[in-house]
């Protein structure tokens, strides 16, 4: 059985994403762990995630001997109020730094742990600028890292401009960037290049659902036949070839196994170039 291990630096090679799972979250995370996933992504944002369900799944997996806490890479997020619904994990009247502290404490309780492996800012306060609000939140997140509540830090839904402003402003750069990855935008080429130059690990989500035109392309079908794999396996293998750590949110056991098996598939260089040529 293929598994998605965590390397010596504590970085996984495949992540199971838990957005939009709602009441199925617990069962699906248990299924993913049993299938071999060893990295789980969630957020303390009840609008799109059920973090407590992830924690229940982990507790069941620990109890049944499927995994131990140290075997699993856990990633969760702090989400600003504008990205939440009414079910807030913090006091909206509190300072941003205190909101980070409250959200982190709530996440650790939900997940049944005293630390997470990666703590991610779910998105900057502005779509256009890295703001003073972001500086305050980022510093609060760093303090949680320094206190041992997380090992690593990341930023999601971020633009190249945001990252450049972090750099020019003297902010510590993240270990991870997690973005929606569109083929028609060159698979987020500018952000990926910045990440490569600064040794940041780029996490890509919605690799299949956001890129149906690639997934359904005849050339991808030909490559899949060549490597004796599925179209999804080709997309995930391609992503790794260009420096993307992929997420999958599949809800089918068969697809979980197939997705993990993509770890064994190495695409020929010309196949990688063909798929990149399909991008915008």
Average pLDDT over residues 203-210: 95
Average pLDDT over residues 162-190: 96
**At 121, which helix (H) or strand (E)?**
strand 116-121
Average pLDDT over residues 194-210: 97
Q: In whole angstroms, what is the distance from residue 33 CA to residue 222 CA?
A: 31
Q: In whole angstroms, what is the distance from residue 192 CA to residue 242 CA?
A: 9
Average pLDDT over residues 247-261: 97
- Contact between 142 and 172 under an 8 Å Cβ cutoff? The reply is yes
- Packing angle, helices 51-63 and 96-111, rounded to 10: 30
pLDDT, residue 278, reads 85
pLDDT, residue 280, reads 57
Q: pLDDT tens-digit profile of 216-248?
A: 999 999 999 999 999 999 999 999 999 999 999
Average pLDDT score, the chain: 96
Can you tell me whether residue 215 is helix, strand or coil? Answer: helix
pLDDT band at 94 (very low <50, low <70, confident <90, very high): very high
pLDDT, residue 10, reads 81
pLDDT, residue 5, reads 65
pLDDT, residue 40, reads 98
- Contact between 37 and 14 under an 8 Å Cβ cutoff? The reply is yes
Q: pLDDT tens-digit profile of 98-151?
A: 999 999 999 999 999 999 999 999 999 999 999 999 999 999 999 999 999 999
Please report, for residues 68, 83, 100, 236, 267, the alpha-carbon distance to residue 88 in angstroms, rounded to integers and kept in the order given: 30, 10, 12, 34, 44
Instruction: Report the share of the chain in percent with pLDDT over 90.
Output: 94
pLDDT, residue 6, reads 67
Average pLDDT over residues 75-93: 98
pTM score > 0.75 for this model? yes
Please report, for residues 217, 222, 235, 267, 279, the alpha-carbon distance to residue 226 in angstroms, rounded to integers and kept in the order given: 15, 6, 14, 9, 21
Q: Is the pLDDT of residue 18 over 60?
A: yes
Task: State residue 52 phi and psi, 5-degree precision.
Answer: -65, -35
Q: Is the pLDDT of residue 168 over 70?
A: yes
Q: pLDDT tens-digit profile of 37-69?
A: 999 999 999 999 999 999 999 999 999 999 999
């Amino acid at each position: 059985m293929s598994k998605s291990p965590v390397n010596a630096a504590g970085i996984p090679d495949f992540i199971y994403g838990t957005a939009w799972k709602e009441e199925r979250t617990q069962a699906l995370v248990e299924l993913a762990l049993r299938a071999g996933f060893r990295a789980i992504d969630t957020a303390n944002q009840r609008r799109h995630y059920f973090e407590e369900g992830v924690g229940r799944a982990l507790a069941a997996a620990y109890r049944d001997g499927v995994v131990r806490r140290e075997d699993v890479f856990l990633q969760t997020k702090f989400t600003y109020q504008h990205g939440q619904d009414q079910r807030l994990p913090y006091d909206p009247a509190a300072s941003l730094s205190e909101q980070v502290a409250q959200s982190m404490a709530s996440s650790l309780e939900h997940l049944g742990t005293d630390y997470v492996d990666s703590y991610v800012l779910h998105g900057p306060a502005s779509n256009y600028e890295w703001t003073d609000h972001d500086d305050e939140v980022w510093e609060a997140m760093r303090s949680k890292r320094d206190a041992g509540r997380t090992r690593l830090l990341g930023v999601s839904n971020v633009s190249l401009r945001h990252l450049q402003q972090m750099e020019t402003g003297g902010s510590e750069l993240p270990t991870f960037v997690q973005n929606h990855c569109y083929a028609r935008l060159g698979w987020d080429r500018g952000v990926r290049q910045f990440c490569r130059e600064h040794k940041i690990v780029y996490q890509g989500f919605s690799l299949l659902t956001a890129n149906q035109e690639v997934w359904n392309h005849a050339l991808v079908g030909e490559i899949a036949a060549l490597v004796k794999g599925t179209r999804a396996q080709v997309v995930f293998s391609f992503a790794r070839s260009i420096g993307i750590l992929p997420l999958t949110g599949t809800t089918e056991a068969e697809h979980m196994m197939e997705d993990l098996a993509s770890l064994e598939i190495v695409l020929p260089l010309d196949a990688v170039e063909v798929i990149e040529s399909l991008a915008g």
